[in-house]
Amino acid sequence: MKVLIVLLLGLTFVLADHDHSGHHHENYVVKTHDDLVTYRAFCADKVHAGEELVEKYKRWQFPDDAVTHCYLECVFQKFGFYDTEHGFDVHKIHVQLAGAGAEVNHSDETHQKIAHCAESHSKDADSCSKAYHAGMCFLNSNLQLVQHSVKV
């Protein structure tokens, strides 16, 4: 009986501390331009993107093709914004866009735009497509913020 009580107490603590989304934006560290450069190189290599595609990516041009879809998925994963199990972490994206040390109001218009993009593409067929289409939505809605957040 004592073992059962200990197990139940332990489970209570785990559940009380568990973030059901699987994300922990409170500990998110805003990434820099150097991080972006590192992630771009890693992901371009991972998906075998040719030089022509890599040059497009550097100019914030992302063609609608399978390689680019998986490239953006990889970049978002490296930033900590996205994982295949939980999808996008809207809070982390918003913190990144706001920048280091900025106060983030998760009920403002920017947050709502990010959430809309994440939700509107959450049912896409595969993980790369989901990441690409939501990512393009983010970029189209917030390109200046995105570019500013990593000091391009």
Q: What tens digit of pLDDT does each residue of 109-129 get?
A: 888 988 999 998 777 679 999
Structural domain contains residue 17: no
Total domains present in the chain: 1
CATH of the domain at 60: 1.10.238.20
Q: Max alpha carbon distance in the chain (Å)? A: 66
Higher pLDDT, 139 or 35: 35
Q: Quick one: pLDDT at residue 44?
A: 98
Of 146 and 108, the structure prediction assigns the larger pLDDT to 108
Q: Is the pLDDT of residue 152 over 70?
A: no
Taking the C-alpha atoms of residue 115 and residue 108, their distance in angstroms, rounded to an integer, is: 11
Confidence tier at 105 by pLDDT (50, 70, 90): confident
Q: Is residue 4 part of a domain?
A: no
Contact 44, 84 (CB under 8 A): no
pTM over 0.75? The answer is yes
Tens of pLDDT, residue by residue over 5-34, are 333 333 323 233 333 344 445 689 999 989
Give the mean model confidence (pLDDT) for residues 63-91: 95
More confident call, 39 vs 21: 39
Q: What is the pLDDT of residues 135-150, one digit of tens each?
A: 999 888 765 555 555 5
Domain membership of residue 106 (yes or no) is yes
User: Which comes out higher in pLDDT, residue 3 or 81?
Assistant: 81
CB of 147 closer than 8 Å to CB of 99: no
What does 17-71 look like in DSSP terms, one character per residue?
H--TTS--GGG-----HHHHHHHHHHHHHHTT--HHHHHHHHTT---SSHHHHHH
Structure tokens at 13: 């603590």
- Answer whether residue 7 is part of any domain: no
Domain for residue 23, yes or no?
no
Domain membership flag for residue 139: yes
Whether 69 is in a domain gets the answer yes
Does 112 reside within a domain? yes
The boundaries of the domain holding residue 86 are 28-149
